[in-house]
Amino acid sequence: MVGVLEVLEVLKIIDSSILLCLFGLPMLGATLLLFIPASALKIIKIVAFAVSLVVAVLAIYIFVSFDETLGGIQFQRIYGWLPLPGPWGSGDDAITLSLGIDGVSATMVLLTGIVMLTGTLISWNVKESTKDFFILYFVLLSGVFGVFVTFDLFFFFLFYELSVLPMYLLIGKWGSTSKFKSFVRTKEYSAMKLTLVLVAGSVLIWVAIIAIFFQAGIGSFSVIEIQKVSETALSPTFQNIFFPLLMIGFGILAGLWPFHTWSPDGHVAAPTAVSMVHAGVLMKLGAFGIIRIGIVLMPNGAETWMPLLIVLGAVNVIYGAVSAMGQTDLKYVIGYSSVSHMGYVLMGMATLNVLGMNGAVLQMFSHGIMTALFFAVAGMIYDRTHTRDTLELRGMAKKMGVISIMFTIAGLTSLGLPGMSGFVAELLVFIGVFQSYGHLGIILGSAAVIGAALTAVYILRLVASVFFGSTPEMWENQTDSRPRELLVAGILVAIIFSVGLWPFPYIEVIESGVNPIVAAISGAG
Amino acid sequence: MNDFSLLLPEFLVAGLAFFILALDLFIKENWKRYLVWVAFFGLAVILFVSLFIESEGQLYDGLLEFDEFTKFFRIFFLIIGGVTVIISREYVDSRLKYPGEYYGILLFTLLGAMLLASSAELLTAYINLELLSFGLYVLVGYERYNPKSNEASVKYILLGAFSSALILFGISQIYGLLGTTRFDEMSVAFSSLSSISPGMAVGFVLIVSGLGFKLAAVPFHMWAPDVYEGAPLPITAWLSVGSKAAALALAIRLFSEGFISVFGELQPILIVIAAITMVIGNLLALVQKNIKRLLAYSSIGHVGYLLMGLAALVPIAKTGSVAETFTNLVYNGLLFHMVSYGFTTMAAFLCVITVYNKTGRDDISAFAGLSKRQPLVALVFVCALFSLAGLPIFVGFASKFYLFNAVGGQGLLWLVALAIVMSLISLYYYLTIARQLYIENSEDDAPIAVSFVTKLTLGGLFGVMIILGIYPAFLLEAIQRATDALISGNLLSLV
């Protein structure tokens, strides 16, 4: 009996600091790896896997135990960090590590946990400087988790920047250079472009955060506290001036047209696991930031500027799809399809109604899983053939049957086939868009549907030419997926189908987070 | 009357300097390389003493003022001085002769810096500034047979003397018009003036220009890259941290005690200087091929951020009392960023010194493939660069956030926006170094051996960068005390 009590006690401690563990464990893992000699490959991989597994379990636990009937912010913990004395008094709670989970972030945490675990597994064959790779990879994920679980502007920004910091080295060192006939894009170039563009986005965010802090004038960086006074302290004029900063700053990370060009380049150059995390999760940080900080703190500004965002989102959808059609590099196709799919996310949140927002968040989740699968499979193909040129890759299904099926599943999700996660999410977005903004909504909704049709064109064409048809002799000696790769793909495929066939558990959680946000907007309006 | 125990740490530093110079005369040649430990442990003892002595009061009828602000800077200088001594060790052993004189003169410059922080009168400040500068003139030219070092020294002496002359002329203007050079009396005299006469304006401009020279603020920065390149590396580090912090300490006290009541007139000048300093410093750093010159320009950029804080000490709107503004946040941010910049720069320079000692090269491509040749140095270096660029979890992020946030609160949001954009630009050139460290490969793959002492120092500086980045609250407490000493004593009563 004592044993059970002790276990319960331990569980309680874990429960009370679970969000801290979520970004603390990857950081701890990175620190631990720092002290393991680089030659001890086995130990490094075991540590990396163990940390990823524990974090993934924690993420699943958080999602499952999130009480969607209760809604609101759960698992809340506030740790004091730095006082800022000022006219508001001693300012003891000015900067706090304010942790919590709402319906939106619970979904995102689950996504990150899954992508982290599958990314670690797929990185098993990183040959060069494995230790440094995992250290940076964990720092990246620590930042991502941190963003999703903090309700403090300072820490939000800290983790946001932390997730950008390792990208340069991850892409520059372990990435790959793309060469086409008359066009070379080096990995160093792509890495620098990605880092600078993303940090440029955070310039805008930083300015907006400083402005919000002083305009609110309560001496607190806490989103929850500022939200309480936002109606009185943040005047509509102020919101109209500073909301675009957040919208564009975060939008850059979300792949918002015309600031999206870093994304295909970066994702193509990055090593597989980093592409998975970056396209799968990191781009969602941008969309998440618009919701968590932009819409929540400045509902008036959101209402003013959302019509612009929904138009830009529609451009994203069409532009991304058309660009993807013209690509001959497997990863560039996926990269541009990400741009296109993030357009649905932006359109969904720009509707500012419950359906559209639900769709946006579910699309964030669905696209994260789907893109992770896409990049994982593209990585598997590249590992074997050492090319991503779709003009060279032909008839791969003959030797890589399982890999072909996985890629096809990702493709069908991407074009929104019913029964898979993409369909549910996109349907919600479409309905939301049609409901909003009158005639504009109908036009843009139609554009979004056309975008989905375009997706079908380039995905089916790609699948047909790369995987089916006769197999050239040069690809006769290929091998199919290894068990480890099958596991990765299996996890992702299972989630795609589970969302597609029975989406209500996910939607209920998401809706519990979206409802208060939408309610606050209609209240402000 | 005069309580000389207030000056105990300064006396001890001076004593230590003389002791080392004297010891140098008597010990055998091959024992001289242990002088570094005399200097280092001497400083450690003095640091210990100054941590625990109570020091509040005035000396020499108010020429020197001792408060928490003095104590803060005194401890900062002692730590940075100690780090400078320890990072000089291998460099002096292998490249410079006469360690006795080297450490002796270095300690005198440290003494000048410490006294500057307590100077509460213009001429006293001037003398201490010269004590600092004269030592540096010698140290910059310490590599006697290196033409670049000689060139640097001559340049530094000529321009330094010129800037000293500017300051002196400025002081004479102010003395001529006010009849006093004491900060507290100056502020009283200023507040009784109805308007600023042209002569007074000339005095301000000259003093600000002179300080600008010492801080290497644009447009008075021309000496910095050449001097940084020519000087022995540890001296470059001391120049870019110690001497700048000393000039900053003087500037903070001068502006918040002496010039407080005319700060509104000075502010536009400071804003313009801050803006062009960070723009020029960061833009010129983009094209540098030599690591010393790059760090020189990047440090000019950082001086721009600090000047921005200086310009925001008191808000533009002259209505409203200080208590309602964010002045104390600006003071805190200024000191915090200075500390952060200091430790980070020291870490960066130690990495450069370690590589330079082994390879004799200081161009950026000399660092290619360092992550394979010496992983620890590469790691600390890249973290220092990230910290300078203001990325988390390093101290540079926290301090930049604090400082920029505070300045933004003073109604200078556009200047902050400029600073953030510049900090984005700086990321580019820091990343080009990171690229050399981790991505490029070098022709020479031979590992670089690093001594235990260097490893320990690297580890210590790395720890400081991370700990202050993750939990700076205890440092901010000390900084808050220093701020309170300045604000409560002067600002509140005068504005």
Q: What percent of chain B has pLDDT over 70?
A: 96
In which residue are the tokens 């913990």 written?
A: A77
Asked, for residue A9, whether it belongs to a domain, the answer is: no
**Mean pLDDT confidence for A88-106:** 83
Q: Where are the beta strands (DSSP E) in B175-325?
A: none
pLDDT of amino acid A185: 81
Whether A318 is covered by a domain: the verdict is yes
Secondary structure of A211-227 in HEC code, one letter for each residue: HHHHHHCCCCCEHHHHH
- What does the angle CA B470 – CA B474 – CA B476 come to, to the nearest 5 degrees? 90
Mind listing the pLDDT tens digit for each residue in B13-28?
Answer: 999 999 999 988 888 8
Per-residue pLDDT tens over the stretch B175-201: 888 888 888 888 778 777 777 788 888
The amino acid present at B177, given as its one-letter code, is L
Site of tokens 């506030």: A78
Structure token pair of residue A168: 């340069």
For A109-142, the DSSP string reads HHHHHHHHHHHHHHGGG--TTHHHHHHHHHHHHH
Is residue B324 pLDDT above 70, yes or no? Answer: no
Q: What pLDDT is stored for residue B492 in this prediction?
A: 45
Asked if pLDDT for residue A486 goes beyond 80, the answer is yes
Strands A95-101 and B64-66: unpaired
Q: Give pLDDT, residue A63.
A: 87
pLDDT at A11 over 80: no
Residue with tokens 């983790």, as numbered in its chain: A159
B265-293: average pLDDT: 89
B417 with A207: Cβ contact below 8 A: yes
| Bond before B393 cis per omega within 30 degrees | yes
A275: in domain? yes
Please report whether residue A311 resides in a domain.
yes
Chain B nearest-CA distance from A386, in A, is 21
Instruction: Please name the member of B328, B393, B401 whose beta carbon is closest to the beta carbon of A85.
Output: B328
- A215: in domain: yes
Give the pLDDT band of residue B321 (cuts 50, 70, 90). very low
pLDDT number for residue B320: 40
State mean pLDDT over A104-133.
87
Q: Is pLDDT of A390 > 80?
A: no
pLDDT confidence of residue B488: 64
- Compute the nearest-CA separation of A12 from chain B (Å): 26
Average confidence (pLDDT) over A331-339: 88
Q: Apex CA A190: angle with CA A381 and CA B284, to 5°? A: 165
Identify the weakest region by mean pLDDT among A3-7, A371-375, B84-88, B92-96: A3-7
Does residue B46 have a pLDDT over 80? yes
- Which of A143, A154, A210 minimises the CB distance to B416? A210
Q: Is residue A342 included in any domain, yes or no?
A: yes
Residue B493 pLDDT > 70, yes or no? no
Contact (CB, 8 A) for A267 and A335: yes
Residue A274: closest CA among A161, A191, A395, A389: A191
Two tokens at B486? 């300045």
Summarize the confidence of residues B127-151 as an average pLDDT: 89
Q: B306 pLDDT band (50/70/90 cuts)?
A: very high
Contact between residue A318 and residue A446 where contact means Cβ atoms under 8 Å apart = no
CB pair distance less than 8 Å for A200 and B424: yes
pLDDT at position B319: 45
Mean pLDDT within A132-145: 90
In this structure, what token pair is assigned to residue A198? 């993303």
Distance CA(B351)–CA(B353), nearest Å, equals: 5
At A459, list the tokens: 């995905």
Is A178 strand, coil or helix?
strand
Does residue A288 sit within a domain? Answer: yes
Q: What are the structure tokens assigned to B124, written together?
A: 């006293």
Q: What's the distance, CA A92 to chain centroid?
A: 33
A74-82/A95-101 β-pairing: antiparallel
Residue B232 has pLDDT above 50, yes or no: yes
Q: Report the DSSP beta bridge partners of residue B421.
A: none
A89 contact B CB<8A? no
- SS3 string, A394-441, reads CCHHHCCHHHHHHHHHHHHHHCCCCCCHHHHHHHHHHHHHHHCCHHHH
What is the rounded distance in angstroms from the CA atom of residue A89 to the CA atom of residue B273?
Answer: 33
Residue whose C-alpha is closest to residue B254's, from B245, B263, B264: B263
Note whether B420 contacts A: Cβ–Cβ < 8 A. Answer: yes
Q: Which residues, other chains included, contact A376 with Cβ-Cβ below 8 Å and sequence gap of 6+?
A: A118, A122, A272, A276, A406, A485, A488, A489, A492
Residue B73 pLDDT > 80: yes
Instruction: Give per-residue pLDDT as tens, B239-265.
Output: 999 989 999 999 988 888 877 777 777
H or E element in which residue A77 lies: strand A74-82
Determine which of B340, B371, B385, B427 to mutate to test the interface with A (most A C-beta atoms within 10 Å). Answer: B427
pLDDT at B339: 93
pLDDT (tens digit per residue) in A26-35: 988 888 888 8
For A86, the closest of B326, B408, B424 (CB atoms) is B326
Interchain CB distance below 8 Å, B471 and A81: yes
**Looking at residue B495, what is its pLDDT?**
43
Q: DSSP state, A99?
A: E
E strand or H helix at A505 = helix A504-524
Least confidently predicted of A219-233, A279-293, B477-491? B477-491
The token duo for A503 is 């989406």
Q: B273: helix, coil or strand?
A: helix
DSSP state of A257: T
Separation of alpha carbons A375 and A357, rounded Å: 26
Phi, psi values for residue A89, rounded to 5°: 110, -150
- Residue A442: the pLDDT is 84
Say yes or no to pLDDT of A228 above 70.
yes
Residues A499, A277 contacting (CB under 8 angstroms): no
Q: Are B281 and B218 in contact (CB under 8 A)?
A: yes
Average pLDDT over residues A192-218: 87
Q: Is pLDDT at A363 greater than 50 in this prediction?
A: yes
Task: Please name the residues in contact with B85: beta carbons below 8 A apart, sequence gap of 6 or more.
Answer: B36, B39, B40, B43, B103, B106
**B132 contacts B113 by C-beta, under 8 angstroms:** yes
Residue A214 confidence class, pLDDT cut points 50, 70, 90: confident
Most B CBs within 10 Å, among A162, A210, A238, A252, to test the B interface: A210
Q: Is residue A238 one of the residues assigned to a domain?
A: yes
Average pLDDT score over residue span B347-372: 87
Judge whether B424 is closer than 8 Å to chain A, CB to CB.
yes
C-alpha closest to that of A63 among A365, A493, A359 = A365
Residue A278's domain comprises 19-524
Distance CA B102, CA B135 (A): 10
Residue B322, pLDDT > 50, answer no
Torsion angle in degrees (nearest 10) through CA of A216, A217, A223, A228: -70
**What would the 3-class secondary structure string for A312-380 be?**
HHHHHHHHHHHHHHCCCEHHHHHHHHHHHHHHHHHHHHHCCCHHHHHHHHHHHHHHHHHHHHHHHHHHH
Q: Which residue has the tokens 């064109």?
A: A457
pLDDT of residue A432: 87
Are B397 and A85 an interchain contact pair (Cβ–Cβ within 8 Å)? no
Mean pLDDT value across chain A? 85
Please tell me the distance from the alpha carbon of residue B194 to that of residue B190, in angstroms, as a whole number. 8
Beta partners for residue B142, in sequence order: none
- Tokens 């993409």 -> residue: A422
Domain count within chain A: 1
Closest CA to A209 of A152, A161, A252: A152
**Does the beta carbon of A192 lie under 8 angstroms from any beta carbon of chain B?**
yes
Between the alpha carbon of residue A322 and those of residues A337, A415, B116, the distances in Å are 9, 14, 66
For residue A524, what pLDDT is reported? 55
Residue range B21-41: average pLDDT? 87
Torsion, CA A495, CA A498, CA A500, CA A506, rounded to 10: -90
What is the reported pLDDT for B325?
66
Q: A159 near A23, Cβ under 8 Å?
A: yes
Distance (Å, whole) CA B435 – CA A245? 30
Extract the tokens encoding B75. 């401890």
